[in-house]
A and B are shown apart, each in its own frame.
Chain A
Amino acid sequence: MLYIKCPHCGMRPQIEFSYGGDASVKRPELNKDVSDQDWDDFVYNRKSLRGKHLELWQHISGCRQWIKVERDTSTHEISRTFKADEEVA
């Protein structure tokens, strides 16, 4: 079971969180024309990375904040976590 550092609450076990997918996906802006390809990429197409992956988790049984977690998909090592509005350098 992963041990995730919530930037708001501290170290918490995985069972308190729910997974939210790739954090690098940007939703196309509202009221703008979006090509089929771009929309497809936004809704369906995800890279299946081996290595560092920035992903979303929600601290669902805690502060209910969505956070960003930098996790290695092959080792499960978590290097950094960020608040929703924090810029990832």
Chain B
Amino acid sequence: MSQNFRIENVGLINKDKKLCFKFNGKKYFGYEGDTLASALLANGVHLVGRSFKYHRPRGFFGAGVDEPYAIVQLYRNNETEPNIKATEQELFEGLEAKSVNCWPSVNFDIGAINNFLKIFLPAGFYYKTFMWPKSFWYRIYEPFIRKAAGLGVASIKHDKERYEHKYEHCDLLIAGSGPSGLSSAYAAAKNGAKVILAEDKPRFGGSLLTSDVNIGNQSGKEWAEGIIAELKTMPNVVVKNRSQIFGYYDHNMLVMSEKVSDHLPATKKYHPNKRLWYIRAKEVLISSGSIERPIVFGNNDTPGVMLSSAAKEYLKVYGVLVGRNPLIFTNNDSGYETAIEFKKHGVDPIVLDSRKNPESEIINEAKNIGINIKNSYVVVAAQGYKKVKSADIASISDDKKQLGKIENIQCDCICVSGFWTPTIHLASQSGNKTKFKEEIDAFIPGQSKQNERTLGAANGVFSLEETLKTSFAAGSELSKKITENDNEVLIPNVVEKKSSKHDKFWCVPLPEGKNYKRFLDFQNDVSVSDVEIALKEGYRSIEHVKRYTTLGMATDQGKTSNLNGLQLVSEIENKVVPAVGHTTFRPPYTPVSIGAIVGREIGKHSKPTRKSPMHAWHEKNNAVFVDAGVWLRPRYYKRGNENLFEGSKREAKNVRTNVGVCDVTTLGKIDIKGPDAAELLNRVYTNAWLKLPVGKARYGVMLREDGIVMDDGTTTRISENHYHMTTTTAQAANVLSHLEYYLQLVWPELNANVVSTTEQWAGAAIAGPKSRDLLQKLFPNSNVSNEGLPFMGYMEDDLYGVKARIFRISFSGELAYEINVESDNGNFMWEKIMEVGEEFKIQPYGTEALSTLRIEMGHVAGSELDGRTIPYDNALESLVSKKKDFIGKRSLQRTAFIADDRQRIVGVVPLDKKTSIPEGSHLVKDANAPLPNPKLGHISASCWSVEYDNPFSLAILKDGKNMIGEKLFVMSPLKNKVIPVEIVSSHYVDPKGERVRS
């Protein structure tokens, strides 16, 4: 296809490098430096999509970040990404894009029927349409809407791209590289400040790339190039293009998304796709410029209607004519600048100016080169369906209420300028209370909240001279404060054309008998009549009007629609705009890829993986691992074709009959030292600790202040003032913080110190009737008899030359010991235990068998200590001291905690002794009771008892104390199960606890 609308020798693109791309399956050509939008316009393609609600044809409205229409689905390197603005996407060889919001195709769209339906999807259609009959919603409306609506399709494939996060500090962060950003960056850099200058576009310079001005006897563009080139050589300056600062957060933290690879056909090896910068800046200068606002008229969404500044940018930057027969509709001088550019390139525009007798340098220039200008004239409506073919125009009365006779004139595009709206999003995000500036009919930043300052057009300053002056001054002043350097920078002289005042006119009245749609929000299809309906229905607050009509709620955040929406509300409500107020701007300023937000923290990198020193051995011996917090623990050691159930049963049985060994390295360990260590334990645990002798361990339960069990574990007195505490794997970090809290803040007078030693020790539990024989062989020089090392005893010995700590404690309920050695010797210890244990038929066992063993014994763990239970609920009340005070004790007197029918742990056995009981099931009295069936309790943990060879569960049951022997039902609607059960004691095996003491 020929480049119909490209002009020779104009623009900043590289005409030597031709690029081939596809849009909706059709092949086109563009050049290096094009955006997808400019390349399509060069090929005469104006129809790029369908609108969100009415599926009206959509073209290009802007040339950058403000674009509300031209959103495409991009295909790049076998990946696809939705919600891409064609005006921002740079062209690369082989680019493929498709329209969104259209089905089956952009030229013939079924959804466009919405446009002709009598019920025209008015304001609030999300709330009031399609609500009845209900069954229609699921079968007809929703599938239809889903197919027809949406702004593209998210890929469901794993994203192969890489995204990085970067943390930076700087003195000055400058958002925007237009005249203001360049000036302040340059002044600050000269003072030696650490500067980051961010530009969202590929090219630096902002408005200087398209405006007809002179700075320091150079064109604006040349001056910008010179400044950037110099900044790039300075070591204290970081200059970033394709980088959008999208969020301004607390304490001068800003986040910037750098597009590293989006302009390339594929991401280079070892490069990220995007890089998210978290920047903590001492000072922030917001030089984000302004966005032209539209004037509202009939059918103003027709492809070919666009901002006049966009038409100028397509011409000057890309050498593309958006039309050969342009109509320019303006209320200020900016439209003339665009008209002059057209005229310079041999195209004759017509200018309609809503003002009566405007006079200025620019207007004179336009007149002098023979541009056709009609004053007090407006566009009433655009005509043409998929593209502007003509325009209905009319003169307008001075009060802007009466239209003259309507004429129809031929044109192929309508370039609109309704004056300029400062881009105040970042300032507003920082907490700045913005204020309305009458002279420009727009909001500008008010009092700074954080260390931010807004300059240039973003601050409502539209004179270049004034912008340079204030920006150089701000850059100098702020950097001087930080670096204490005061290097003078000369402000260059500026030549610019003075402009005349704009017209406070923003919406063309409807001619009599016509009912044209006049759009305010182009992305969400919100028209003037929608806002009128919302107000008629009683919505007053601008925040409510916004949500009811969805005005400004699309992905463009109303960049082109907000102010006109406010003007309309203020007009109908007869209020001034500042009294209506504007809605709050929130980050992100532009859509940010989820991948960029997530960064490298995906898959294995989402959290650290902790492995015990014996991990390699487990791997070699067919362990199947399970996540236990951040740890990987063996769940069972697979033999042959065993499944989890078979394997864990075998392992548990072997513990009950011979001896097993379990890796317990993951248990939290805290070293406690100091003369008041015992007193600390005595206050933290519910039971008494002051009389624990050296060389003895004790089981303890700790509560939160609200009486709920926080954690349990054993603590051993290693020497006079030295204790070794163990916690559950999951609560290790919380318990440490808890102890530090009380030592540092509540009882600083206690002389004790705590430190985590979880990683310093490797632990192995050996359990089973033959564990003592094994221990004796491992430590032949020690007396490990029941008298030598009694239950809850502790000793130190030497394991083949390695220092070892031996605790006689048991979680499995069997005769058991725990051996700790320094982590580096963990694997040595494990291999020795396996080697020496062979004659006792030792087998390693995983967490599944460990669970089985503890459940059978009625020992509580995380599933019972679930943040909702007190000691009584877990049958631990014998550990609650009546004599001394401790953390949470007072809460145990709460009425609910001492109620007669208080919940309590019980055992549950199915009557058929066969059916496994799903964890989380509810216990009910009557399986056939009407819903909601009163719940008496829940199943906290289930196992297959290896002792009795039938299923066994633990449950927390209301009035559990008096329920032993009762018959209830277990119900699991999720698994569709109803199981008749009997309630038994939670101590299912060895209820007197004789084995651990044997």
Contact = CB atoms under 8 A, between A and B. Distances in A.
Interface of A: 1-3, 13, 18, 20, 27-28, 30-31, 34, 39, 42-44, 56, 58, 60, 64-66, 75-76, 78, 84-85
A29 to B, nearest CB: 9
Contacts of A60: 737
Contacts, number: 52
Contacts of B683: 30
A1 B253 CA distance: 6
Contacts of A1: 249-251, 253, 278
B706 interface: yes
12 contacts: A1-B250, A3-B252, A18-B737, A30-B885, A31-B884, A31-B885, A39-B890, A58-B737, A58-B740, A75-B431, A84-B744, A85-B744
B449 A75 contact: yes
B847 interface: no
A2 B251 contact: yes
Interface size on B, as a range, is 20 to 34
A25 to B, nearest CB: 10
A67 B676 CA distance: 23
Contacts of A76: 250-251
Given A43-B891, A56-B745, A84-B748, 7 more contacts: A18-B737, A43-B705, A44-B706, A60-B737, A66-B740, A66-B745, A75-B431
A58 B741 contact: yes
Contacts of A39: 890-891
Given A43-B705, A43-B706, A75-B431, A3 B741 contact: no
Given A34-B890, A39-B891, A3 B251 contact: yes
Contacts of B250: 1-3, 76
Contact of B745 (A3, A34, A43, A84): A84
Contacts of B252: 3
Listed from nearest, the 3 A-B pairs whose CB atoms lie closest are A3-B251, A30-B885, A84-B744
Interface in B863-900: 884-885, 890-891
A20 B741 contact: yes
A1 B885 CA distance: 40
Contacts of A28: 890
Contacts of A44: 706
Contact of A42 (B253, B705, B741, B745): B705
Interface in B679-718: 683, 705-706
A39 to B, nearest CB: 5
Contacts of A18: 737
Interface string B437-480: 00000000000010000000000000000000000000000000
Contacts of B746: 27
B280 interface: yes
A12 to B, nearest CB: 11
B124 to A, nearest CB: 33
Nearest to B733: A60
A75 B253 CA distance: 14
Interface in B267-303: 278, 280
Contacts of B249: 1
A65 B740 CA distance: 8
A44 B888 CA distance: 12
B446 to A, nearest CB: 15
Nearest to B278: A1
Decide if the interface of chain A is mainly helix, strand, loop or mixed. loop
B740 A64 contact: yes
Interface string B907-949: 0000000000000000000000000000000000000000000
Contacts of A30: 683, 885
Contacts of B885: 30-31
A43 B706 CA distance: 6
Contacts of B280: 3, 13
A83 to B, nearest CB: 9
Nearest to B255: A1
B432 to A, nearest CB: 12
Contacts of B745: 56, 66, 84
Which of B251, B449, B891: most chain A Cβ within 10 A?
Answer: B251
Nearest to A44: B706
Which of A2, A44, A64: most chain B Cβ within 10 A?
Answer: A64
A31 to B, nearest CB: 5
A36 to B, nearest CB: 8
B892 to A, nearest CB: 11
Nearest to A60: B737
A39 B884 CA distance: 17
B670 to A, nearest CB: 12
Interface string B719-755: 0000000000000000001001100111010000000
A31 B280 CA distance: 48
A20 B705 CA distance: 14
Nearest to B884: A31
B730 to A, nearest CB: 16
B338 to A, nearest CB: 43
B451 to A, nearest CB: 11
Nearest to A64: B740
B801 to A, nearest CB: 35
A44 B127 CA distance: 40
A64 B740 CA distance: 8
A42 B746 CA distance: 13
Contacts of B737: 18, 58, 60
B705 A66 contact: no
Nearest to A84: B744
A18 B746 CA distance: 18
A4 B443 CA distance: 33
A38 to B, nearest CB: 9
B251 A65 contact: no
B683 to A, nearest CB: 7
Contacts of B705: 27, 42-43
Contacts of A85: 744, 748
Contacts of B891: 39, 43
Contacts of A84: 744-745, 748
A82 to B, nearest CB: 11
A59 to B, nearest CB: 10
A61 B741 CA distance: 15
A15 B740 CA distance: 19
Contacts of A66: 740-741, 744-745
Contacts of A27: 705, 746
B276 to A, nearest CB: 13
A78 to B, nearest CB: 8
A80 to B, nearest CB: 15
Contacts of B431: 75
A34 B894 CA distance: 13
Contacts of B278: 1
Nearest to B169: A11
B890 A65 contact: no
Which of A2, A3, A66: most chain B Cβ within 10 A?
Answer: A66
A1 B431 CA distance: 14
A65 B741 contact: no
A73 to B, nearest CB: 12
Nearest to A18: B737
A75 B450 CA distance: 10
B744 A65 contact: yes
Which of B250, B253, B431: most chain A Cβ within 10 A?
Answer: B250
A19 B232 CA distance: 42
A76 B664 CA distance: 44
Nearest to B890: A39
Nearest to A68: B745
A70 B449 CA distance: 18
A28 B251 CA distance: 36
Nearest to A3: B251
Contacts of B740: 58, 64, 66
A10 to B, nearest CB: 13
